[in-house]
A and B are shown apart, each in its own frame.
Chain A
Amino acid sequence: MLCYRDGDAAAFDALYGRHRGGVYRYFLRQCRDAAIAEELFQDVWMNLVRARASYAIQAKFSTYLYRLAHNRLVDYYRQRRLPMVSYGEEDCDVLDTIPDERELPADLELDLKQQAARLMSLIAELPEAQREAFLMQQEGGLTIEEIASATGVTRETAKSRLRYALAKLRQGMVPWR
Chain B
Amino acid sequence: MKQTDVIVIGGGPAGLAAALAAHRGGAQTLLIEREPRLGGILKQCIHDGFGLVRFSEQLTGPEYAERDIISFKQAGIEALTTTFVTRIKKTATGFILTAVNETGVLTITAKALVLATGCRERTARQVFIHGTRPAGIFTAGTAQHYINLLGQMPTKKCVILGSGDIGLIMARRLTLEGATVLGVYEAKPTPSGLTRNLYQCLHDFDIPLYLSQTVTRVYGEERLTAVEVCAVDENMQPIAGTGQKIDCDALILSVGLIPENELAVSLGVELDPKTKGPLCNEALMTSVDGVFSCGNALHVNDLVDYVSESGERAGTAAANFSCKQRAEIALTADANFAYLVPQRLDLNDIDTKTIIYFRSQRILENCDVVVTVNKQEVLRKHYSHLRPPEMERLEVDFATLNLTSDSTLSFKMEVR
Answer yes or no: are A and B bound together in one complex: no
B binding-site residues for A, Cβ under 8 Å:
none
